[in-house]
Amino acid sequence: MAEEICADFASEALFIGCLYKKPILFVDYADLIKSKYDFADDVTKFFYDSFEIYYKTFSQEVSETKVEMFMSKDQDRYIKYKKIGGWKTIEKQIDLADTEDVANYFDSIKKFSLLREFGKKGFPIQKILNHKAFSKLKAEDIVKTMRFNVDNINTVIGGGKSSVLLGKNLKSVIEKWKENPDIGEELPFPIWHSLFRGWRKGKLIVDGMMSGNGKSRRATKVAAYIGIKKRIPILVLVNEQEEEEWDAMLASVIANNKEFGFLKNENEYIEETDILLGKCTNEEYTRLDEISEWVSKNTRIYFLQLDKYSDSDLEREIKKHVLGLGVKYVFYDTLKGYKTDNWETVKQTATKLKDLCNELHIGGYATIQLTDDTINSEELTSLNIANAKQLKHVVDHLVLEKKIERSKYDKYMIKCQNNSGAWGEIPLDRNKVYYVQRIDKNRGGATGLDLITEVDLGKNLWIEKGYLVRNAKH
């Protein structure tokens, strides 16, 4: 009988009211609430389960019309919705709920949820319910009182992890890899893809360049490839550039990089400045119209310019898009400290991004600025990262890039494969601009390698050429 009355029905109803009143709160609590355990009342459980589906698949805004439309999409759901009062019941909960008090509603729900689970296991929960300080107890306090048996309780708050015997299931894991290799989404740079084993979920890529060298432009190529050509939902968060600047980069990167299929030969390159100034030829505008139509039809890129970019702002926006819109990969341009240049805050933000990648099972990509004196560095290392030298410890793949001075072209050769697949070395072309990329960290394969990319920032052109090696003659 104890578990039947061990509930705070008022807090359950008020918590539901808060969600429907301010839907963004779902982002904060989606990973914490488990309706199977947390709602003792069937009505509040129904409203929560419905809201979860509504937010993830239908809309992130709540109105009577939208809720009615959503509920009616499933006959059984609609019948139950009407039976328990429909919108009038939700409206009453919204009116009574105080969103500023949602944390207290949540804690009470969790406290009683935990007690019910202890009760099912035969623990004397009535003693706790009758305690004179019960109203002041938190869920964690209840766990502490039964710490010696807490591992047997399967709840979100009280649950723990057990160790495993490493290697016990190794054969089955190897068989799984044989059938489904551990390779992530294809990247538009073949060597990156090979070295990183693709862009795997849970992994954070950080690309560093000096200011003005095009870190946003390279990110645009990856974003367009994943979010438009592959049609995989992605989120682009920016704190420096505006939407129109990204539109211009999007148009030029698709027009000038052969991976997108709109570049027939090299004399068809379109200058991004000509797009912005309206100086393209009729032929170029015809191609840009084709590109625009293709992008409009296929884009799965959600773009958001951040006025505030604290760690909590980032977390909320990322969770909102992952939970509500099915985003699989997140870009953040540019990674920097919020309201300060202290390196510790930059590392803290990088850690937050990495944690979110693991928690939400998504891929992360962030750009970061290298120090101005990087131009004088013979070799790139994480010491070249502005204000965040210890960032390397957090990320999975760290790429450091800089422009190669033409005066040093003779010192190097490009190691690459020819059309038949044979490896050889060719000189750098003095009429072209090249960037060297040091793979400074790689949780996918080799590190310490120097790659070379042909770059034309005016055209937003990025062509991976091979490996940069020393010229034996110099």
Checking if the pLDDT of 3 tops 70, the result is no
Distance (Å, rounded) from C-alpha 361 to C-alpha 203?
A: 9
Same domain, 104 and 215: no
Domain with 312 in it: 190-396
Give the pLDDT of residue 310: 84
Q: Say if 305 falls within a structural domain.
A: yes
Task: Name the strand (E) or helix (H) holding 364.
Answer: strand 363-369
Q: Say if 291 falls within a structural domain.
A: yes
Distance (Å, rounded) from C-alpha 221 to C-alpha 205?
A: 14
Q: Say if 419 falls within a structural domain.
A: no
Q: Say if 322 falls within a structural domain.
A: yes
Confidence of residue 129 (pLDDT cuts 50, 70, 90): confident
For residue 117, the SS3 value is helix
Distance (Å, rounded) from C-alpha 235 to C-alpha 42?
A: 36
Same domain, 222 and 104: no
Same domain, 371 and 244: yes
Same domain, 215 and 66: no
Looking at per-residue confidence, does 65 or 347 come out higher? 65
Same domain, 236 and 348: yes
Boundary-marking domain end, from 341, 369, 396 = 396
Give the pLDDT of residue 270: 95
Confidence of residue 19 (pLDDT cuts 50, 70, 90): very high
pLDDT (mean) for 58-86: 93
Confidence of residue 148 (pLDDT cuts 50, 70, 90): very low
Checking if the pLDDT of 110 tops 70, the result is yes
Checking if the pLDDT of 2 tops 60, the result is no
pLDDT (mean) for 283-288: 95
Give the pLDDT of residue 1: 38
Same domain, 238 and 375: yes
Give the pLDDT of residue 386: 53
Q: What is the CATH number of the domain that holds 137?
A: 1.10.860.10
Same domain, 137 and 275: no
Give the pLDDT of residue 240: 81
Confidence of residue 193 (pLDDT cuts 50, 70, 90): very high
Q: What is the CATH number of the domain that holds 388?
A: 3.40.50.300
| Mean pLDDT computed over every residue of the chain | 86
Give the pLDDT of residue 31: 83
pLDDT digit string, tens, across residues 420-463:
888 999 999 999 999 999 999 999 888 889 999 999 999 999 99
Share of the chain above pLDDT 70, in %: 85
Looking at per-residue confidence, does 6 or 90 come out higher? 90
Same domain, 341 and 212: yes
Listed residue (439, 438, 359) closest to 397, CA to CA: 439
Same domain, 122 and 256: no
Distance (Å, rounded) from C-alpha 434 to C-alpha 30?
A: 46
Same domain, 146 and 218: no
Same domain, 143 and 205: no
Boundary-marking domain end, from 371, 396, 421 = 396
Distance (Å, rounded) from C-alpha 436 to C-alpha 453?
A: 7
Looking at per-residue confidence, does 339 or 465 come out higher? 465
Q: Say if 444 falls within a structural domain.
A: no
Q: Say if 359 falls within a structural domain.
A: yes
pLDDT (mean) for 160-177: 79
- Could you report how far apart the first and last alpha carbons of the chain are, in Å? 86
Q: How far is CA 233 from CA 175, 200, 227, 270, 301, in A?
A: 30, 15, 6, 27, 6
| Site of tokens 């039976």 | 83
Q: Which amino acid is at 186?
A: E
Same domain, 231 and 375: yes
Number of domains in the chain: 2
Looking at per-residue confidence, does 246 or 143 come out higher? 246
What is the DSSP code (8-state) at residue 186?
P
Give the pLDDT of residue 159: 44
Give the pLDDT of residue 181: 84
Checking if the pLDDT of 153 tops 50, the result is no
Rg (CA), the chain: 27
Boundary-marking domain end, from 101, 136, 152 = 152
Q: Say if 37 falls within a structural domain.
A: yes
> What angle is formed at CA 202 by the lines to CA 196 and CA 207, rounded to 5 degrees?
50
pLDDT digit string, tens, across residues 330-365:
999 888 766 665 667 888 888 999 999 999 999 999
Q: Say if 429 falls within a structural domain.
A: no
Across 111-120, 436-445, 460-469, the highest mean pLDDT is recorded for 460-469
